[in-house]
Structure 1
Amino acid sequence: MTAPLALYIHWPFCVSKCPYCDFNSHVREQVDQDRWRTALLADLAHEASLTPDRPLSSIFFGGGTPSLMPPQTVAALIEAAERHWGFAPGIEITLEANPSSVEAARFGDLARAGVNRVSLGLQALDDSALAFLGRAHSLSEGLAALDTAQAAFDRVSFDLIYARPGQSLDDWQAELRRALTFGTEHLSLYQLTIEPGTRFAALAAKGTLPQTDPDHAAELFELTRAITAEAGLPAYEVSNHARPGEESRHNLTYWRYGDYVGVGPGAHGRRLATASFRRKKPENFLTAIARNGHGIESEDALSPETRAAEALLMGLRLDEGVDLARLATETEVQALVDDAAVSRLAEHGLVRQDGSHLKVTPAGMLVLDRILAEVIL
């Protein structure tokens, strides 16, 4: 059987734009739900026509804020996906959700629509931090939504942002240990980064947003790994921690460089050695759907060298690392890494190579971007 696919569906709308967010998200006073359901179904059908006989191993509804989607739309997209592709046994269907009371009220309907995993954007366990991050929910509202999610879905993950201005080691240790008492099997723990084009970037440029010292950020990162490992949810990727067996199967498809298709405004895809990219602005996406029957802006064939480099960029984020021999066979590229750089970094304890298997060590994860730049040919 041909290898399964992952499907990503992007819902671009949010109630408000968070100051740290550089995702393709848009605030609109009104959304024509019928028109959007029709458009997404058409975009999905187009991708299915290009990838027949590839059962889906996972579906991920991202955004934006996909928990703002009507459950009927979610159900229609899941039903269409199963009809077009078929589902691999045990398919994982994840939806990102904001922990507002309005959205939590839909969790039961979303579960009945077929969603079996939710990723909840708690982001912080402190009301002042939530206000700083521009979140619309309070801590009490967020924790109530977490309770509702755990009752509705088979699997629940939630996000936290740390390395916030002024956050001490003790502050983060207390927050993270509290988070680990909530009983979820997966946590996504991200350091606050200042992304170009965001409100935080503008504040940083003016000097009104304090920056976290890199050495302090490194200490926070090491503390995070130590605490989660001790709790039985070790890091399996730079920012993701899970009890063994509870890793995000959808995201593992990205990191292991499996094929995935992307549907919706701004969605990326990697399928059949081709990179696809859809129009980002919602109105432009709808116009493209009406004109072409799909939202694709560009499709580019990926050279073997590009595929090899992308696979390394993604795979070395994982604690499991990459099998260079397998990757060379799949891409037909034999010279994948700079052997001299690998040897030098191994001497410093930043990478480890065992035969054809290469991985970045926990110490190396602190400087992953620099390692990738040195290692990848």
Structure 2
Amino acid sequence: MADAPPFGPAHGFGLYIHWPYCSRICPYCDFNVYAAKDRDNGPLNAALLADLGRHADLLAGHPALGSVYLGGGTPSLMAPEDIAALIETADRCFGLAADVEITLEANPVDISPAALESWKAAGITRLSLGIQSLEDEALTFLGRDHDAAMAKQSVAEALTVFDNLSIDLIYARPGQPQTSWKTELTEALSLGAPHLSLYELTIEERTAFGQRAKRGELVPMDDDDQADLYELTQDISEAHGLPAYEVSNHAASKQYQSRHNLTYWRGGDWIGIGPGAHGRLTVDGARIATHAAARPADYQLSVQTPLDRSSLIELSPLDNARELLALGLRADVGFDLERIARITGSETDATTLQSLIETGLIRQNGPTVSLTREGRLLADRIAAELSP
């Protein structure tokens, strides 16, 4: 990898498909989502397929896809035949690597033996299950439409079909005591999923929680208490054989690390299709940012126009370097600072680097720097300090 370009498909090549519909909108969610209701999904499905064709015309020289990720929204609401059509079209347009990882995000209420088998038949190889909590009171607070019993049952059923299973949990909820989180996380680890994504609750301004916080009806957990819970999370996860390989993600082994997310963190290329989806592509040696129209109707209209290289947004060397560093530092393998120098022509400030090492926030191995456990708590700040 030493001779690889500082960004691009040599660091991974994936496809992200955004399905924007949900049966209900969770009060903490800041994603581009819409209530499913009784919608005709035909026009959106056709637009997704057309968008794959547009990208194939632009990216004729790219390698086969190493990962496909269907996120949202709630893509488990899609018909299995529509999922299969997307995977088949992606294969026809770009090719799929022999060991391709194809992830579907799903909610517990959508899990059934028939659904699981239909997803597997469609080509899904990995499931990401949004259980969010194993406490009924917390699930009600988070606006979820399942209870703890259903969450645990869905994990057990999913593991009978998908060995590669990830579950999401949200912690650092207002007033959440350490003892409660320890019990909940320990129980979650005992369910047997080889991958956990553990996220601290973030109150975003545009969400229902954000409006409640603005009115003083909801008080977010303070930073010190969040930091204590984060440290506890690391201790418990490591003790159960799922150490963090990224700030918020834990895996039993490299086999179960999310290849798709690693493409983001390593500075690879990914196609983003679907309403509001972002992508990063290497075209003619330049780093290109794509951002699809957010509203489904606008997105469906936009894919009727071919992707023209001259109309795409090229990231400046500085913006590109800063983004690569901010994402690259999150993974435990760290980030090669020589990549920044190759992009910007300037070295990382040695004084800043030494200060972060001496304070125990980063470690250095040749040109590669990585966050210490203490540094993970300050990942964004450290990336900003090291940025050119």
Please tell me the TM-score bracket, short chain as reference: over 0.9
Is 1:287 aligned to 2:301, yes or no?
yes
User: Pairwise mapping of residues 61-210 of structure 1 onto structure 2 (< 5 A)?
Assistant: 61-101=70-110, 105-210=114-219
Distance 1:295 1:154 in 2: 41
TM-score, normalised relative to structure 2? 0.92
Is 1:353 aligned to 2:364, yes or no?
yes
What amino acid is the match of 1:268? H
Deviations 1:101-122 (A, max 9, x none): 5677522101110001000000
Deviations 1:161-205 (A, max 9, x none): 001111111111111111111111100000001112001011111
Is 1:368 aligned to 2:376, yes or no?
no
- Which of 263, 274, 279 matches 1:264? 274
8 Å CA contact 2:15, 2:272 repeated in 1:
yes
- Which of 355, 366, 388 matches 1:344? 355
Deviation at 1:44, TM superposition (A): 1.1
* CA-atom RMSD in angstroms: 1.9
CA separation of 1:104/1:201 partners in 2, compared to 1, >3 Å: closer, same or farther? farther
Distance 2:164 2:97 in 1: 18
Deviation at 1:34, TM superposition (A): 2.2
8 Å CA contact 1:336, 1:376 repeated in 2:
no
2:329 match: 316
Distance 2:241 2:124 in 1: 26
Distance 1:104 1:279 in 2: 35
Q: Which runs of 5+ in 1 are unaligned?
A: none
8 Å CA contact 2:111, 2:157 repeated in 1:
no
CA separation of 1:334/1:226 partners in 2, compared to 1, >3 Å: closer, same or farther? farther
Stretches of 4+ aligned residues off by more than 4 angstroms: 101-105, 293-296
Deviation at 1:309, TM superposition (A): 1.2
8 Å CA contact 2:288, 2:313 repeated in 1:
yes
TM-score, normalised relative to structure 1? 0.94
Count of residue correspondences = 373
Q: Which runs of 5+ in 2 are unaligned?
A: none
Q: Secondary structure at the match of 1:189?
A: strand
Deviation at 1:28, TM superposition (A): 3.6
Which structure exhibits the higher relative contact order, with contacts defined as CA atoms closer than 8 Å and separated by 6 or more residues?
2
1:45 match: 53
Distance 2:90 2:19 in 1: 16
1:303 match: 316
8 Å CA contact 1:101, 1:141 repeated in 2:
no
Give % identity: 47
Q: Secondary structure at the match of 2:83?
A: helix
